[in-house]
Amino acid sequence: MNIDLSKFDRFKVSFQKGDQIFCEYEPGDSFYLIQSGRVQIVKIMGDIEKIVDILHPGEIFGEMAILEEAPRSASAIAIDHVEVLEFNKKNFEILLRGNPQIAMKLLQTFIKRIYDQKRRFMILTLPDPQAKVADVFLMLSETQSAESKSMNEIVLNTNVDDLAHWCGLTTSECKQVINHFVTQRKIEIENDKLVIKNINDFQRFVNSRRKK
Amino acid sequence: MPQVVKYKAKSIIYFEGDISDKIYILQSGKVSLISVDIENGQELREMVKTGEFFGVKSSLGRYPREETADVLADSVVMVFTIPEFENLIYTNPRINMQMLKVFSNQLRRLHKKVRSLMSIDEQTDAETGLFNIGEYYYKNQKFKPALYAFRRYLTYYPAGIWQGQATDYLIKIEKYPQGGAPAGSLNQKAQTGKKPSAPEEESKDSKLYYDGLGFFSQEKYEDAINNFRQYISANPDGEFMVRAVNEIGKSFFLLKRYDDCIKHFTGMIQKFPKHPDLPEFLLYLGLSCDAKGDKQRAAGFYKKVITMCEDGSEVKRKAKNALKTLGGN
- pLDDT digits over A89-137, tens only? 777 777 777 777 788 888 898 998 899 889 888 898 898 999 999 999 9
- CA–CA separation, B283 and B319 (whole Å): 6
Provide the pLDDT for residue B231. 82
- CA–CA separation, A175 and A186 (whole Å): 14
Provide the pLDDT for residue B188. 39
Best mutation target among A9, A21, A25, A108 (most B Cβ atoms within 10 Å) is A25
Provide the pLDDT for residue A150. 60
Provide the pLDDT for residue A83. 95
From the list B56, B63, B96, the residue facing A115 with the nearest CB is: B63
Contact B233, B212 (CB under 8 A): no
Provide the pLDDT for residue A70. 75
Provide the pLDDT for residue A182. 93
- CA–CA separation, A200 and B67 (whole Å): 24
Residues of A in contact with B56 (CB under 8 A): 111
- CA–CA separation, A193 and A205 (whole Å): 22
Complex ipTM: 0.79
- CA–CA separation, B109 and B39 (whole Å): 12
DSSP string, A66-98: GTS--B-SSEEEESSSEEEEEEEHHHHHHHHHH
Residues of A in contact with B86 (CB under 8 A): 100, 104
Residues of A in contact with B108 (CB under 8 A): 64, 68, 70
Provide the pLDDT for residue B114. 82
CA B321 from chain centre, in angstroms, equals: 23
Provide the pLDDT for residue B95. 87
Residue in chain B closest to A71 (alpha carbons) equals B126
Residues of B in contact with A10 (CB under 8 A): 310
Cross-chain Cβ contact B89/A104 below 8 Å: yes
Residues of B in contact with A66 (CB under 8 A): 100, 104
From the list B96, B100, B114, the residue facing A120 with the nearest CB is: B114
- Give chain A's residues under pLDDT 50: 1
Nearest CA distance, A41 vs chain B (angstrom): 13
Cross-chain Cβ contact A46/B120 below 8 Å: yes
At B100, is the secondary structure helix, strand, or coil? helix
- CA–CA separation, B150 and B130 (whole Å): 8
Nearest CA distance, A21 vs chain B (angstrom): 10
Element (H, E) at B54: strand B53-54
Residue in chain A closest to B108 (alpha carbons) equals A64
Provide the pLDDT for residue B122. 55
Residue in chain B closest to A124 (alpha carbons) equals B117
Chain A touched by B42 (CB under 8 Å): no
Provide the pLDDT for residue B104. 84
The residue among A203, A168, A209 whose CA lies nearest residue A186 is A203
Cross-chain Cβ contact B61/A25 below 8 Å: no
Provide the pLDDT for residue A146. 54
* pLDDT tens series, chain B, 329 aa: 889 999 999 999 999 999 999 999 999 999 999 998 888 788 999 999 999 999 999 999 988 899 999 999 999 999 999 999 999 988 888 888 888 888 988 888 888 888 777 765 555 788 999 999 999 999 988 888 999 999 999 988 988 899 889 998 988 887 765 544 433 334 433 444 444 444 445 566 777 888 888 788 777 888 888 888 888 887 777 777 777 888 888 888 888 888 888 888 888 888 777 777 788 888 888 888 888 888 888 888 888 888 888 776 778 888 888 888 887 44
Chain A touched by B145 (CB under 8 Å): yes
Cross-chain Cβ contact A107/B97 below 8 Å: no
Residues of A in contact with B140 (CB under 8 A): 49
Provide the pLDDT for residue B194. 40
Provide the pLDDT for residue B187. 42
Residues of B in contact with A94 (CB under 8 A): 311-312
The residue among A180, A185, A177 whose CA lies nearest residue A201 is A185
